[in-house]
Amino acid sequence: MLNIKLSKIGRKNKISYRIVVASSKSSKNSKFIEKIGFFNPFDKKNQFNININRFIYWKKCGSKISNRVKFIINKFHYLK
């Protein structure tokens, strides 16, 4: 099964996240299938970006979406 989840990148006290499609058996920062976006809580100008077409494609393929990714997408009003 596939998951759409966050993967940490960056350094201590300056963390940002990738939104990735990965196997449910992989750890949170290991290999992923595809990077579909990012979330940077410290940069207000360039805070969030997602390739919505790829997100919908992976969602239709049966990928499970993590709660945090759902929260971020709803916060930025990408899906209704």
pTM: 0.84
Would you say 21 and 3 are in contact if contact means Cβ atoms under 8 Å apart? Answer: yes
Task: Catalogue the long-range contacts made by 29-37 (C-beta closer than 8 Å, 24 or more residues apart).
Answer: 32/7, 33/2, 34/58, 36/4
At 80 the pLDDT is 53
Going from the N-terminus, what domains does the chain have, and what CATH number goes with each? Answer: 2-75 (3.30.1320.10)
Identify the band that residue 79 occupies on the pLDDT scale cut at 50, 70 and 90. Answer: low
- What is the rounded CA–CA span in Å between residue 41 and residue 50? 14
At 6 the pLDDT is 92
At 29 the pLDDT is 72
pLDDT tens-digit readout, 7-57: 999 888 899 999 999 988 877 677 889 999 999 998 888 899 999 999 999
pLDDT tens-digit readout, 44-74: 888 999 999 999 999 999 999 999 999 999 9
